[in-house]
């Protein structure tokens, strides 16, 4: 019987979904998950792969930024020496490794849905959805070819792990909201149970970062600063919160990750990367804007409770607050968001490449 000390350091050729029959193939032609040929080959030959979410395309950024940044993130991953795998729902199936043409269609669908315009004649009856882990079985079991959608951080982590991808890049994770405080993103429990490196500029700044960090600590998720001792606050390099651990290079991150995985720790590692300094905003400045937006949100919901308008609750809160920050900051928050998304993709690609190189070097040292 083997123990964790005996586990090979070689990358897995595929995650648990290959064995379970969830992946489309000759033996399972109607399986709910399709892995693009480039990604499948990269898994087979132990090449570095970085998973990317698609909710930023379908429900996050407005056009034309959603399409451009999605393509830019893929380009950053490739420039770092890794293979990008954008994850999304396409014609009722989960696809790992959307093509540029598919990404473009999702971006157009998002624009059409926002503007209630349907110029895509062949897809006038499409349904564009935002997918979290709770939606997998209901949506995929329906086999509805009209379904298209973007995966959240939680959903993307689950899919990446399911197919055997160990690296993931996003803008910022979800977390604990201020009001109501029981509004907790599914990203947090998913991070606690998914051993995938997650590269992000911390959590979204509109959240209760103190409570979010407490949740991550309670559930054993390592939060590691990348070139920083501070927990970045999404738009800001600095914040009032420090991180317990720090790495400064892709190689240091790779060594930490291999130790985490060799010990069979069940959680993700959150690599907290500050936004690029030339785009970042001062923490105190952004906090003032967030407090203004939160006060506006509370006032709106108080009026809605008196029958004047519809309340903004649940999944609608985050996009509303982010849009309000864009307006209050004269679009400066948007510029930071775009810059950090590209930067995080670059860092994830560099760490993925460093990890594969580190494994190869260790294998050479071990000999035949």
Which is the catalytic residue, given 130, 204, 214, 302? 204
pLDDT digits (tens, 9 = 90+) for 47-69: 999 999 999 999 999 999 999 99
Is residue 325 scored above 80 in pLDDT? yes
Cα Rg of the chain, angstroms: 20
Q: Phi, psi (5° rounding) for residue 289?
A: -65, -40
Classify 124 as helix, strand or coil. Answer: coil
CATH architecture of 12-165: 3-Layer(aba) Sandwich (3.40)
362: pLDDT confidence band, cut at 50, 70 and 90? confident
Is residue 283 scored above 90 in pLDDT? yes
Q: How far apart are alpha carbons 65 and 44 in whole angstroms?
A: 33
CB under 8 Å to 310, separation ≥6 — which residues? Answer: 304
Is residue 42 scored above 50 in pLDDT? yes
Q: Looking at beta carbons, which pairs linking 17-26 to residues 24 or more positions away fall under 8 Å? A: 17/162, 17/163, 18/163, 18/164, 22/162, 23/163, 24/93
List % helix, strand, coil for the chain (3-state, nearest 5): 50, 15, 35
pLDDT for res 315? 76
pLDDT digits (tens, 9 = 90+) for 112-160: 888 776 555 445 678 999 999 999 999 999 999 999 999 999 999 999 9
Residue 2 vs residue 90, higher pLDDT: 90
Preceding amide of 64 cis, omega within 30: yes
Sequence ranges of the domains in the chain: 12-165, 168-368
Return the number of other C-beta atoms located less than 10 Å from residue 7's C-beta. 12
Q: How far apart are alpha carbons 353 and 348 in whole angstroms?
A: 9
Q: How far apart are alpha carbons 293 and 9 in whole angstroms?
A: 48
Is residue 7 scored above 50 in pLDDT? no
Spatial contact of 147 and 129, defined as CB atoms under 8 Å apart: yes
Q: Tell me the CB-side half-sphere exposure of residue 260, using CA atoms within 13 A.
A: 23
pLDDT digits (tens, 9 = 90+) for 12-29: 457 999 989 999 988 888
CA dihedral 22, 25, 28, 29 (to 10 degrees): 110
Q: How far apart are alpha carbons 249 and 242 in whole angstroms?
A: 19
179: pLDDT confidence band, cut at 50, 70 and 90? confident
Is residue 36 scored above 70 in pLDDT? yes
CA dihedral 229, 52, 191, 80 (to 10 degrees): -40
Preceding amide of 164 cis, omega within 30: no
Q: How far apart are alpha carbons 240 and 231 in whole angstroms?
A: 8
Q: What percent of the chain has pLDDT over 90?
A: 80
Spatial contact of 235 and 200, defined as CB atoms under 8 Å apart: no
168-368 shares the fold of 12-165 = yes
Whole-angstrom CA distances from 196 to 153, 166, 344, 367 are 11, 5, 15, 28
Is residue 111 scored above 80 in pLDDT? yes
Mean pLDDT (whole number) for 311-323: 86
Which is the catalytic residue, given 38, 53, 74, 91? 53
Average pLDDT value for the chain: 92
Query: Is the four-CA dihedral 297, 301, 299, 180 of positive or negative sign?
Result: negative
pLDDT digits (tens, 9 = 90+) for 241-259: 999 999 999 999 999 999 9
Query: Is 362 an annotated catalytic residue?
Result: no
pLDDT for res 2? 34
Mean pLDDT (whole number) for 98-106: 97
Question: Does the domain made of 168-368 have the CATH classification 3.40.1790.10?
Answer: yes
Containing H/E element for 282? none
Is residue 10 scored above 80 in pLDDT? no
Mean pLDDT (whole number) for 1-16: 47
pLDDT for res 366? 82
Tokens of 10: 């070689």
Mean pLDDT (whole number) for 80-87: 98
Is residue 326 scored above 50 in pLDDT? yes
Query: Is 41 an annotated catalytic residue?
Result: no
Q: Tell me the CB-side half-sphere exposure of residue 32, using CA atoms within 13 A.
A: 18
């Amino acid at each position: 019987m083997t123990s964790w000390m005996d586990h090979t350091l070689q990358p897995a050729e595929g995650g648990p979904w290959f064995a379970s029959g969830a992946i489309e193939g000759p033996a399972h032609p109607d399986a709910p998950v399709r892995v693009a040929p480039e990604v499948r080959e990269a898994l087979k030959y132990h090449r570095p792969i970085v998973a990317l979410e698609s909710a930023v395309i379908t429900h996050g950024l407005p056009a034309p930024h959603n399409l451009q940044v999605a393509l830019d993130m893929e380009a950053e991953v490739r420039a770092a020496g890794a293979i990008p795998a954008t994850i999304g729902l396409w014609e009722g199936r989960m696809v790992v490794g959307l093509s540029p043409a598919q990404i473009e269609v999702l971006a157009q669908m998002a624009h059409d849905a926002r503007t209630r315009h349907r110029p895509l004649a062949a897809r006038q009856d499409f349904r564009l959805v935002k997918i979290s882990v709770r939606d997998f079985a209901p949506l995929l079991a329906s086999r509805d070819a009209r379904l298209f959608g973007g995966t959240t951080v939680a959903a993307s982590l689950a899919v990446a792990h399911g197919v055997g991808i160990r690296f993931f890049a996003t803008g910022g994770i979800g977390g604990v909201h201020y009001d109501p405080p029981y509004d907790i993103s599914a990203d947090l429990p998913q991070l606690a149970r998914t051993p995938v490196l997650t590269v992000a500029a911390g959590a979204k700044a509109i959240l209760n970062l103190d409570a979010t960090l407490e949740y991550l600590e309670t559930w054993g998720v390592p939060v590691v600063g990348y070139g920083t001792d501070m927990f970045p606050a999404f738009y800001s390099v600095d914040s009032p919160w420090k991180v317990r651990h720090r790495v400064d290079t892709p190689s240091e991150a790779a060594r930490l990750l291999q130790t985490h995985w060799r010990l069979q720790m069940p959680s993700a590692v959150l690599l907290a990367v500050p936004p690029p300094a030339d785009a970042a905003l001062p923490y105190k400045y952004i906090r003032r804007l967030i407090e203004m937006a939160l006060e506006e949100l509370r006032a709106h919901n108080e009026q809605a409770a008196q029958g004047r308008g519809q309340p903004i609750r649940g999944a609608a809160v985050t996009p509303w607050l982010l849009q309000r920050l864009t307006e209050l900051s004269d679009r400066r928050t948007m510029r930071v968001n775009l810059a950090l998304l590209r930067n995080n993709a670059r860092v994830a690609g560099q760490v993925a490449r460093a990890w594969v190189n580190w494994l190869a070097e260790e294998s050479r040292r071990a000999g035949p």
